[in-house]
Every structure is written in structure tokens, then in C-alpha cells.
Amino acid sequence: MIAMATIFHGTYGENDAIFEKFKECTDETSTIIKHIASIIGHGHRALDIGSGSGDIAIWLSCWNDSVIAVEPERKMLDRLREKMASLGIDNVAIIPKAWENAKIAGSFDTIICSHAMYFMKDWETSLRKMVAMLDDHGKAFIIVHADDDPFTNFLTRFEQEIDPIKARHDPHVASVVMAIVSRIPGMTARVDEIPAIMRFASIGAAIDVCPFFFECSPGSITRDVKAELESWFDALDHDGREIVLRYKNAAVTIQKK
């Protein structure tokens, strides 16, 4: 299965402005934060892996003495630094590297990796590196797509058709994370589904934020996938109504037994 972020990364990883527009159209970050906030309290040290423009790192800074944000994309880090400066945040340290190349010492109360696993070549090695940094009572939250989510399944078919060579075929879902954790001695994990909603005021707004869906040539996707695309975005007979896309993320919470 292709993760939603795999499609989005080509656009959003290179264009931070479009990424910010996308975040305005979805409640994804707020629902993830709400879920994690219901589990953790004040901590001493937190780690945010794949921070993007920093919304989760900034939230963590309010609940922890210190935060480390790991993010390789320069434009995203520029956004994060701008937000930190405007809010007067001084307890977030930035490591401008991919997770695989980041060298970090010490342990953490909280580790969050939200939709960043998709860009790591070796999930098992990356996960083992994360959980090795948990303190005795710490928790790691790995946010990926929920198994059998209809919208994520559509994205799988869409990307495999427009770019079958680039598209990866290993599933980017919670069950894969759980299987890896089961092979790590001394760790336990649970999965919670987190519903999310994307809203677009019009089909024009959807095209502005998700151009990759509408810029593909007509011959690059089959009739069935084209029909499903039009169904999700109501693109054939749109009369100005708001477009609402519902999907599910999954939070895998990992801690020591």
C-alpha cells in the first residue's frame, strides 16, 4: 500500500507553502495531538522525528523541558524557525538530518514520528533506533495510516497507475509497525485509530492544494481509477458544495513491558 504522504511528498516536500495550505484543510494534526495529549503528561525530554514545519514539536515544547526536532527538508525547517521565533520558543533544538543519519544521545519521555516512516528505507532499523531511546516509562507514538482505510487504498491504486516504477508496494500501515515491534525484545504496543477529515471549499480549492490528482494525463489512469477519483472529489458535477474527505490514521503506541 502506498502511504498518502508518499504521493504528497513530491509536492509538499518541495513547496512548503502548499504544505501549509494542506494543513489548513485537514484536522489531522489536531486530532493526532489530542490523542497523544490524552495519554502523556508533562515530561522532561521529547523527540519529534520528521517534524515538517513543526506543529507537533511546538506543541511538545509546551509540555516538556526540552524538545529535539529532526527534519531534513530545509524549507520546512525555515517554517519551523519562523514559528519558534514568533512564539518566543527557545527549548526546541533542531537536527537538520534524515532520521537514519541523526546522532542523538540520551533517552526521552516521549517520541513522536508522525507520517515520517514512509520516507525511511528500513522500517525495522529505524524503529529499533527509536525505541532504544525510550526511558523506562517513556512512550513512542508512530503515526501511519490505518489498515483497510478506503481513501488510503484509493491512493494506493492511483499512485501505482501514474508511476508504477516509483510506487512502493510494501504496506505503510499500522499492522506492519506492530509486526516489527513484536520482534523487538522487551517492547509492547497497541493501535488506536484516529479519524481525520479534509475539507475543500470547492473543487478549485482541491486542485490548488492537491494538484497531483488533477495534472495526470487522461491516459495515465484507468477508467475505474478515474471514476473513483471523481467520486472522492465530486469532480464531474460539482455545484459549489464543500468537498469532504474522511479517512483514518493509526497511532501505534510503543513502550517497555
Grid cell in block for residue 232: 472522492
What DSSP letter does each residue of 134-151 carry, written as one string? EEEEEEEEEEEEPTT-HH
CB proximity list for 2: less than 8 A, separation 6 or greater: 155, 156, 159, 160, 167, 168, 172
Between 152 and 218, the higher pLDDT residue: 152
pTM: 0.87
Is position 227 within any domain? no
pLDDT at 2: 31
CB proximity list for 81: less than 8 A, separation 6 or greater: 94
Our count of domains for the chain comes to 1
Look-up of cell digits 474522511: 246
Is position 215 within any domain? no
Is position 184 within any domain? yes
Label residue 172 by pLDDT band (50, 70, 90): confident
CATH number at residue 78: 3.40.50.150
Mean pLDDT to the nearest integer, 113-119: 91
Is position 217 within any domain? no
Which domain does 132 fall in, by range?
4-149+166-197+248-256
Is position 68 within any domain? yes
108-114, strands of its sheet edge to edge: 92-95, 64-70, 43-49, 108-114, 134-145, 243-256, 187-200
- For residues 243 and 202, the answer to whether their CB atoms sit within 8 Å is yes
Is position 230 within any domain? no
For residue range 205-252, list pLDDT tens digits in order: 887 777 767 666 555 667 787 788 778 876 544 556 788 889 999 999
Mean pLDDT to the nearest integer, 115-125: 91
pLDDT at 123: 94
Is position 95 within any domain? yes
CB proximity list for 128: less than 8 A, separation 6 or greater: 184
Label residue 98 by pLDDT band (50, 70, 90): very high
